[in-house]
Structures are given as structure tokens and as C-alpha cells.
Amino acid sequence: MTAVDERGGMFTLNPEQEALRQKALAVGRELRADGAKWDRDNLAPYKEVCARMKEAGLLGLTMPKEYGGQGGTALDYVIAVSSILRMSQTWIGPEPLFCTTGPGASMILLGHEAMRQKYLPQVVQGELGCAIALTEPEHGSDLTYLEATAVLDGDEYVVNGTKAFITGSGVNELYATFVRFDDIPGPKGVGALVIEADRAGVTSTPGPEFVGDRGIPHGDVRFEDVRVPKENLIVGAGQFGWLMSAFNMERLHNSALCLGISEAAYDEAVTFAQKRESFGRPIIEFQSVYHSIADMWVKIEAQRMLAYRAGATAREGRFPDAHDVTVAKLHGSKIMTEVTMSSLELHGGYGVTLDYPIQRIHRDAIASVVAGGAPAVLRNSVASMLFPDRRFSQTRGS
């Protein structure tokens, strides 16, 4: 780290936040040596990483204390996720925070008390992980067109449908699953249920192999006549906006991930540029090199401000504001690949060898761009928030 960012960048943290940052950096550093193997084998010991995060006291950060959580804020979440990622240099590092504190856990928090009591104490302890199952083979950005259905039959919902690209499928025990209730078309029909992975009729398959974000499947999950108790309802039809308020934790995670990946790429650029010599001098002494590093730093600082603000303005300290978190994720997904690519380029030919981590960091960056919402779709959201009186309908013929 350079002198300025030993203070956590230019953002002033209070002593508790700084202590959290230091803890997350330390635990991230412990994982750094393993990332290359997890990527190469496309297999990470997720439960061990989760146990390590629990030991470090980093699970359940934003969950209320009454469910065993730490009662922290969304800003704590951003600080922890970005710092673990920066030091571990692998997206797997903060994934246990995502599965035990992030959007799945936050959606359970939206549900009624019996469901919170049923799951949250085990979720915040890392005993149950909650993946989020929205995307379908034919519907990603057009989430409101989703086809998975839930039909009430007595005291149970019967769920049918297929989900795609589900991070942590086959690894987590729960799916916060978006479904259409009562065949009601459009967003009005979309709600969510918690579905246990071991329920009869649930099948997970690994799905296609990814170029980055490897080690845990982003697989397919099929629901065939799965009977789910009524008490597993998060929200039913007509509350799509409310549901998305908790889903915004996904975008907050992505914003922090963009920050952490960019910082990891920056660290590698700084280390390499000071060691590598050309024409008898360290390459960092060439103006094009130190300008490139300065540009990376400015982009990272802007991302830190946006991600921290999105954390700091979260409602009840927990549910991120749609505007702030969308802006942070959109900016993050843009600068992240620019920063990782600049760092890779500064490594010369070594940048594309498996001997240096920058190629893996760059692959994780490109794999993360559309997760949680493609940039074009985030631009649609920003524009509709800027111009609320105009309709930017995406539907043909409307």
C-alpha cells in the first residue's frame, strides 16, 4: 500500500470502522495464497472460508442483534467486503458475507417474524447460506417477465420453473427465489419465497463454466412441483418495489466488489512497476506509467466515495437507496475493468501469464460486470430516476 491509502483512502473512518477495515484486510491477506488454486481447479472450499470469516467476526454484520447479528450498518458491509477482496484478491473471500448478510438474508428480514426466527439465527452464524435465484434461462434483465410460478395449494405453495447463473447453487442451503404468483403478468405478479435446497423437487446443476469468478458454481436450479410451506413467503404479489429494496444489497455488494477488485489490481500495478526495470530504470519512473497509476487511483477514489455513500445512506442502515447504489454499481462496473486492464497492460507480457495474479483479477472483473444488473439496465434505472415524469418503457409496442 502507498502512504495515502494506509489511511483507507481519503475517506475518514471512525475508530470502529477503521478497526473493522484492518480486521478485514488481515483475514483477506490470509486467503491470498489460495486464490490461484481455487481458480485453476474451479473449486474453492467455501465452507472453510465461511468458517474463517465467522472466526474473524465478519458474518451477520448488518443483521439485527435480536437474530444474533452484529447490528452494524451497510457501510460496515462495504468496508468489510472491499477490504477482504483487496487483500485476498479473490471474489471468494467476501462471498460468505454475501450469503449470510447480503441480499438473501436481507430479503428474509423483509418477511414476517416467524420466517425470520426460522432462518436468520442460523444464517447469521453461517450454518445456512442464502443464494438469490432471480435469473432464468430466458429472462435476465427483463426480470419482470420471469416464468417460474408459485400456486397456493392448501398451506403450501407449489413452485415450478428454472433459474440460471445462481451463484452458490449446490453450495448454499437456501434460495431466495423470485416467482410469479397467480399468473399475474408483469412486476405486479412477482414476489419471492425462501426454498430449501434439499426440498423434494429441487435440482442444482453446475451450468456453464465461467472465465472468471470461478471456484463456486453459478449454476442452474430447477424446481419441479416443489411444495413450500406458506410461512416461507418473503413477499407476495404486488410488492415488487419493496422486495427490490432488500435486493439493493446485491448492488451494494457489487459496488464494494468493484472497489476491492480495482484496489487489488492497483496494488499489483504498483508492486510490479517498482520492481520491473526497462532502459535501466524502474518502469514507474516513466511518465506514462505513473500517469496510468494516478488515473487508476482517481477512479478508485471516486468508486470508494460512491460505494461508501451508498452504504452510508441505506434506510435503517440496511436497505440501500436505489439511486445511490445504482450509481455506485454502474460506476464501479465501468472503472473496474478499466483499472484491471490498465494494470494488466503495465505488466507487459507477464500480465497474461499464469505466474501473476493480474490475469485472474481481470477475469474476475469481466465476469462481475453484469452480475446484479447489466450496465445498460442500470443506465435505464438512473435515467428513470433523473426524469421521473417521463416513461422509458422497455416493452415493445408500449
Ligand X SMILES: Cc1cc2nc3c(=O)[nH]c(=O)nc-3n(C[C@H](O)[C@H](O)[C@H](O)COP(=O)(O)OP(=O)(O)OC[C@H]3O[C@@H](n4cnc5c(N)ncnc54)[C@H](O)[C@@H]3O)c2cc1C
Shortest-Cβ-distance residue relative to ligand X: 140
Name the nearest CA neighbour of 172 among 130, 218, 232, 213.
Answer: 130
Q: Is residue 343 a contact point for ligand X (CB under 6 A)?
A: no
Cβ-contact 342, 269 below 8 angstroms? yes
Cβ-contact 25, 82 below 8 angstroms? no
Of 200-229, binders to ligand X (CB under 6 A) are: 213, 218
Q: Is residue 324 a contact point for ligand X (CB under 6 A)?
A: no
In the bound state with ligand X, the residue whose beta carbon lies nearer, of 88 and 135, is 135
In the bound state with ligand X, the residue whose beta carbon lies nearer, of 84 and 133, is 133
Residue selected from 133, 176, 202, 310 as contacting ligand X according to rule CB under 6 A: 133
Binding mask 5-44 for ligand X (x = CB under 6 A): ----------------------------------------
Cβ-contact 267, 297 below 8 angstroms? no
Exposed (0-12), middle (13-18) or buried (19+): which is 374, by Cβ within 10 Å? middle
- Minimum CB separation of residue 349 from ligand X in Å reads 28
Q: Is residue 166 a contact point for ligand X (CB under 6 A)?
A: yes
Q: Is residue 170 a contact point for ligand X (CB under 6 A)?
A: no
How many residues lie near ligand X (CB under 6 A)?
23
Cβ-contact 147, 104 below 8 angstroms? no
CA 6 to chain centre: 25
Q: Report phi then psi at 157, rounded to 5.
A: -95, 140
- Minimum CB separation of residue 375 from ligand X in Å reads 7
Of 250-269, binders to ligand X (CB under 6 A) are: none
CB proximity list for 211: less than 8 A, separation 6 or greater: 363, 366, 367
In the bound state with ligand X, the residue whose beta carbon lies nearer, of 47 and 379, is 379
Q: Is residue 107 a contact point for ligand X (CB under 6 A)?
A: no
In the bound state with ligand X, the residue whose beta carbon lies nearer, of 192 and 284, is 192
Strand partners, 174: 130, 196
In the bound state with ligand X, the residue whose beta carbon lies nearer, of 9 and 102, is 102
Residue selected from 175, 373, 378, 381 as contacting ligand X according to rule CB under 6 A: 373
Residue selected from 26, 152, 294, 376 as contacting ligand X according to rule CB under 6 A: 376
Q: What is the β-pairing status of strands 277-278 and 281-282?
A: antiparallel
Gap between the Cα atoms of 95 and 323, Å rounded:
24
In the bound state with ligand X, the residue whose beta carbon lies nearer, of 307 and 370, is 370
Strand partners, 159: 150, 226
User: At 218, is the secondary structure helix, strand, or coil?
Assistant: strand
**Cell triple for residue 315?**
434506510
Count of C-beta atoms within a 10 Å radius of residue 5: 18
Q: Is residue 362 a contact point for ligand X (CB under 6 A)?
A: no
Q: Is residue 363 a contact point for ligand X (CB under 6 A)?
A: no
Site residues, ligand X (CB under 6 A): 131-135, 140-141, 165-167, 213, 218, 367-368, 370-374, 376-377, 380, 394
